[in-house]
Amino acid sequence: MEKLSTEQLKKTASQVRRDILRMVHEVQSGHPGASLGCTEFFVALYFNQLNHNNDFKIEGKGEDLFFLSNGHISPVWYSVLARSGYFDTAELKTFRKINSRLQGHPATEEGLPGIRIASGSLGQGLSVAIGAAQAKKIDGDEGVVYALMGDGEQQEGQIWEAAMYAPHHKVDNLIATIDFNGQQIDGPTNVVMNLNDLKAKWEAFGWEVIDTLKGNDMESVLAGLEYARTLLGKGKPVLNLLHTEMGYGVDFMVGTHKWHGIAPSDEQLENALGQLEETLGDY
């Protein structure tokens, strides 16, 4: 697919945020906070970094693949997939409703293009991405595998099984990103279960770790992802610590765990949409 310029990416991000809010508002259910926080990452990935084909084939041979481990941020993924042409944007209005392909958490059973495995139960996506990366190596397929995890999700044991495995097996066609927003359902991560020095932990496990300090600044996110790609093929998997703010883009949602899993009211939606330019046309 054609790579968008930074300016185009920013415009797309504004529209994706509108989509997220309208989807969650319509069904009064879903997870807007981290969806808004990861919008720059998803837009930069799908509209600039990923070598992918929106004529979806699950095998993804020769393509770059993306796996979402923290499946609850499905709104941002669905919006970006639709805006990339995987399916019609009109389908976004079916999010979380009966008989929809847009399940609350991503699933393959309903055949939504762009989704290769179910996620939602946390801690599993990195293992899946590593497996997919190794399968590409067996085939001599030069596609890169991307994964996104939450930071609260770092509390799951399986993450560290996978963290130990990938460097041991030199899985160096993999870029895993952690949405480092410092929040989880019950509050700040350092109150709920302190992650302490996440960077040192991943480095100690043998990963090449980079920090993207401005995870809601399109130039920084893009630069981080571009730099990550240059580190591939050197015997180590790459970890991108993406420092984001939950709820970014809407003044009353930003920087708090309170919007992890609740929907805006009619008034709140109107207020939020007033802060986000409609750049590509609402669905």
Residue 92 near residue 79 (C-beta atoms within 8 A): yes
Q: Is the dihedral of CA 93, 97, 98, 103 positive or negative?
A: positive
Task: Give the ranges where the chain is alpha helix by DSSP (H).
Answer: 6-27, 32-37, 39-44, 74-83, 125-139, 157-168, 189-192, 198-204, 218-230, 266-273
| Minimum CB distance to other proteins, residue 246 (Å) | 24
Q: Is 183 a residue that touches other proteins (CB under 8 A)? A: no
Nearest to 75 by CA among 271, 224, 264, 251: 264
Q: Which amino acid is at 265?
A: S
With residues binned 3-state (H G I as helix, E B as strand, rest as coil), the percentages for the chain, rounded to 5, are 45, 10, 45
Q: Is 139 a residue that touches other proteins (CB under 8 A)? A: yes
Print the binding letters for residues 63-92 with other proteins: x by CB under 8 A, - otherwise: --x-x-------------------------
Q: Is 61 a residue that touches other proteins (CB under 8 A)? A: yes
| Minimum CB distance to other proteins, residue 119 (Å) | 7
Q: Is 119 a residue that touches other proteins (CB under 8 A)? A: yes
- Give the integer Cα–Cα distance in Å for 266 and 213: 34
Q: How far are the Cα atoms of 7, 9, 37, 179, 248 from residue 259, in angstroms, in the given order?
A: 28, 25, 11, 16, 11
Q: Which of 3, 97, 135, 227 binds other proteins (CB under 8 A)?
A: 135
Residue 283 near residue 92 (C-beta atoms within 8 A): yes
Q: Is 158 a residue that touches other proteins (CB under 8 A)? A: yes
Name which of 99 and 230 has its Cβ closer to other proteins. Answer: 99
Name which of 71 and 224 has its Cβ closer to other proteins. Answer: 71
Q: Is 239 a residue that touches other proteins (CB under 8 A)? A: no
Nearest to 52 by CA among 114, 109, 9: 114
Q: Which of 112, 133, 144, 272 binds other proteins (CB under 8 A)?
A: 133
| Minimum CB distance to other proteins, residue 153 (Å) | 13
Residue 275 near residue 85 (C-beta atoms within 8 A): no
Q: Is 204 a residue that touches other proteins (CB under 8 A)? A: no
Name which of 39 and 127 has its Cβ closer to other proteins. Answer: 127
Number of residues that bind other proteins (CB under 8 A): 40
The single-letter DSSP state of residue 172 is: -
Q: Which of 1, 5, 142, 169 binds other proteins (CB under 8 A)?
A: 169
Q: Which of 4, 27, 118, 192 binds other proteins (CB under 8 A)?
A: 118
Name which of 110 and 270 has its Cβ closer to other proteins. Answer: 110
Q: Which residues bind other proteins (CB under 8 A)?
A: 58-61, 65, 67, 107-109, 116-121, 123-136, 138-139, 141, 157-158, 161-162, 164-165, 168-169
